[in-house]
Structure 1
Amino acid sequence: MTSNEPVETITALLDRENEKDPNIRISYNIHDSVEFLDVFIENIQGQLKTSVFRKPAAEPYILPYTSDHPRHIHSNTIQTALLRGVRLCSDIETFDQERLNIEIALLLNGYPPKFISHHFKQFFKNYNASSIYQDLHAEMYQQLHLQLLNESITTDQVPQQLEQQQLGQEINNGCIKTKPKKQIELIIHYRYESGPLKKFSREFRKLWEKHFCYENSSLNNIRLILSTRSNKTLETLLVNKKPRRTLLRNIDPNISTTTMET
């Protein structure tokens, strides 16, 4: 919490609350800065400043991908990192430093510079805030910062409210509509690679629509789903995992093991 009261007043208040219940103990630390989860908050001459917090012991340039993934997965990594940066950084200078950290992390993990630049520009273009990326426009950044903070709060609340309102209307009307019958789904898995198979999904859909989705075709009601599988890492190929617990428990004690000596 934040307060303008003297330290002695806050300490006395916390100590008094700490004596109310012997089963509940309050531990507190009063300082001009604090970190909570991935947020760092500091008080600079009466102004609160927030930024992204990283644990000093954690490696700062590690991404959660160690094998080939589809392009939309890699683009989501960039979008999510920038979204977190805008929400947590309270001013444009702090965000610009966070943007550099994100860019360095991506470059160290083999992301092409053109790919990074494209998705950086696309992120700000989606919010009509290209001037932030080009000119570090402080006023525009503050508007985007508040907008994304409000979105993070309302995103979880609005769908639940709409669902409750819709359910209430259906109950009042005395009828609840049944969900339509799902279409037949055809799921095709393929091994993704960053080479020739990068455009496999797009080309396959073109062929599917050309040869199977003609007028009066019996396959028009089939929903095509192309799912990718990542290439195995060296860890999965070389490291033998421990057998399942059921296999270890069901070992017959009457079976004896023998050793061979050469």
Structure 2
Amino acid sequence: DGIPVRPIENTINAPTTNVSNYLDEIIRPIFDKECQNTTIIDGTSLIQALHQYMRKGLFKSTTLFCTFDVRNLYTMLPQEEALNVLVEFLHVHGYTKVKGIPLETIRLLASIVLKENVFVYGKKIYQQVLGGAMGSLFTLTLANIFMWKWHKELVRRQDMTGEYYGRGTLSTSVYHKPVAEPYVVPFTSDHPQHVFENIVQTSLRRAIKYSSAFQSFNDERRYIKSTFLYNGYPSSFIDKTFRNFFSDYISSRSFLPFLDNEKPFLQMPIALSGQPSRQQSQVDTRIATLTTDNDHLIQESDKKQEFTIQENKKPNEFQNKLTIHYAHEDRFNTCKRDMHRIFQETFANTPIIETKLIVGNRNQRNTMEELIRKRPRQAILKNKAKASMINETKKSSL
């Protein structure tokens, strides 16, 4: 209808998904390790870096903080240039192979992830020729490596810049984009109870970590409550979750379900500082797995030697356990309790009772998954040129 659109291809469960996941698994730890000094994982790591910057005496009243954003980075990557930067990145950091795979093969696999993405629209098949597909794990890693090439010279110049000693005060708070709508998972949605509790507690934990002043925290706490009220969360549920979160810092006789003075607020960031965020834990785990893999450091002269690697046998964590999952619905709120009761009644006084029963639930498929057609119609996928050639061959043979 004359409205310009830019398609964003989603490759979840697509033919290239497994290749993308594998490349991300073996290359992202390398990026995490080699670029950890120039990568901000989340808001908490940024605040920690700023405090370290202050301790060095580099923070002044004239210090400027500059940010910039590359629009549509993942879907606008120049494919050939990104592949060349990938090989350069691995080569610069001493890799001739990754997990025994030569860099030429790594580049070929990455090319498949980038270029072999097609979609059907209006009975025509289109191929993505710029950038990578959304939902592909390796697209994110490749985009980060591409930016490594871009900011390498900038980082070198920043390291050479001398700064004078000065004093200053760092003030931080939670930032909300002006155009962002105050939406979270609605309370009326079909999710288990603990999901709603975790969402509220995560918001409070972020507010504690990001707020440098008690007043900033109180402002954010009010914003959090109003946001959840807007999304249908009962006030009683919010207050109960608040009280549970602050239980170690407020009196059980307190009428208010939150901190009412600055002293306990100053204690909470200290208690939470020893708890890494989910993103930080993931990065640390990936780097830890990488440090045990030194195959790329073996010299050519040593490659002819034979090594016997004896792997420790890991115990089977699923042994003597029976795990059952069901799609969560509110009408099944007693399902877990009922299944445990039936299991106990049925297998009492039998050897099976020694098996541990684990009953879990999965969330319902969201609207996007329900509406997206993952496979086009058979008629569109049929190669009409070959079909016509076969028909002509049959006619000529007759």
TM-score, scaled relative to structure 1: 0.62
> Matched residue pairs, number?
207
For CA contacts below 8 A with separation 6 or more, give which structure has more relative contact order: 2
Q: Residue 339 of structure 2 is aligned with which of 167, 189, 204? A: 204
Question: How far off is 1:129 after superposition?
Answer: 0.8
Which residue of structure 1 lines up, in the alignment, with residue 384 of structure 2?
Answer: 253
Question: How far off is 1:176 after superposition?
Answer: 8.5
Describe the superposition over 1:99-118 as per-residue Cα deviations: whole angstroms up to 9, x where unpaired.
11111121122222222111
Q: Residue 129 of structure 1 is aligned with which of 226, 244, 249? A: 249
Give the partner amino acid of 1:220.
I
- 1:229 equivalent to 2:362? Answer yes
Give the partner amino acid of 2:383.
D
- 1:62 equivalent to 2:177? Answer no
Q: How do 1:168-247 residues align onto structure 2 when only pairs under 5 Å count? A: 178-181=313-316, 182-194=318-330, 196-212=331-347, 214-215=348-349, 217-233=350-366, 237=370, 239=371, 241-244=372-375
Which residue of structure 2 lines up, in the alignment, with residue 40 of structure 1?
Answer: none
Give the partner amino acid of 1:69.
H
Residue 114 to residue 177, structure 1, CA distance change in 2 (3 Å): same
Question: Aligned partners of 2:212 and 2:246: how far apart in 1?
Answer: 17
Which residue of structure 1 lines up, in the alignment, with residue 269 of structure 2?
Answer: 145
Question: How far off is 1:122 after superposition?
Answer: 0.6
Question: Aligned partners of 2:229 and 2:342: how far apart in 1?
Answer: 36
Give the partner amino acid of 1:202.
R
Structure 1 gap segments, 5+ residues each: 12-21, 29-44, 168-174, 257-262
Residue 4 to residue 180, structure 1, CA distance change in 2 (3 Å): closer
Question: How far off is 1:80 after superposition?
Answer: 1.1
Question: How far off is 1:75 after superposition?
Answer: 1.3
| Residues 242, 258 of structure 2: 8 Å contact kept | no
Q: Which 10-residue stretch deviates more, 83-92 or 202-211?
A: 202-211
Give the partner amino acid of 1:51.
S
| Residues 67, 230 of structure 1: 8 Å contact kept | no
Which residue of structure 1 lines up, in the alignment, with residue 21 of structure 2?
Answer: none
Which residue of structure 2 lines up, in the alignment, with residue 109 of structure 1?
Answer: 231
| Residues 192, 228 of structure 1: 8 Å contact kept | yes
Question: Aligned partners of 2:170 and 2:361: how far apart in 1?
Answer: 45
Q: Residue 80 of structure 1 is aligned with which of 198, 202, 215? A: 202
Give the partner amino acid of 2:353.
N
Give the partner amino acid of 2:237.
F
Describe the superposition over 1:70-125 as per-residue Cα deviations: whole angstroms up to 9, x where unpaired.
11111111111111111111122111111111111211222222221111111111
Residue 233 to residue 24, structure 1, CA distance change in 2 (3 Å): closer
| Residues 188, 227 of structure 1: 8 Å contact kept | yes
Which residue of structure 2 lines up, in the alignment, with residue 19 of structure 1?
Answer: none
TM-score, scaled relative to structure 2: 0.43
SS in 1 for 2:323: strand
SS in 2 for 1:57: coil
Question: How far off is 1:142 after superposition?
Answer: 0.4
Give the partner amino acid of 1:130.
I
Question: How far off is 1:150 after superposition?
Answer: 3.1
Give the partner amino acid of 1:179.
K
Structure 2 gap segments, 5+ residues each: 1-52, 65-150, 159-166, 293-309, 389-398
Question: Aligned partners of 2:271 and 2:172: how far apart in 1?
Answer: 16
Which residue of structure 2 lines up, in the alignment, with residue 94 of structure 1?
Answer: 216
Question: How far off is 1:58 after superposition?
Answer: 1.8
Question: Aligned partners of 1:105 and 1:77: how far apart in 2?
Answer: 12
Describe the superposition over 1:40-87 as per-residue Cα deviations: whole angstroms up to 9, x where unpaired.
xxxxx942211111222222x111568311111111111111111111
Question: Aligned partners of 2:259 and 2:220: how far apart in 1?
Answer: 16
Describe the superposition over 1:132-182 as per-residue Cα deviations: whole angstroms up to 9, x where unpaired.
9445220111011122123228x849x97xx99xx9xxxxxxx99743343
Give the partner amino acid of 2:183.
I
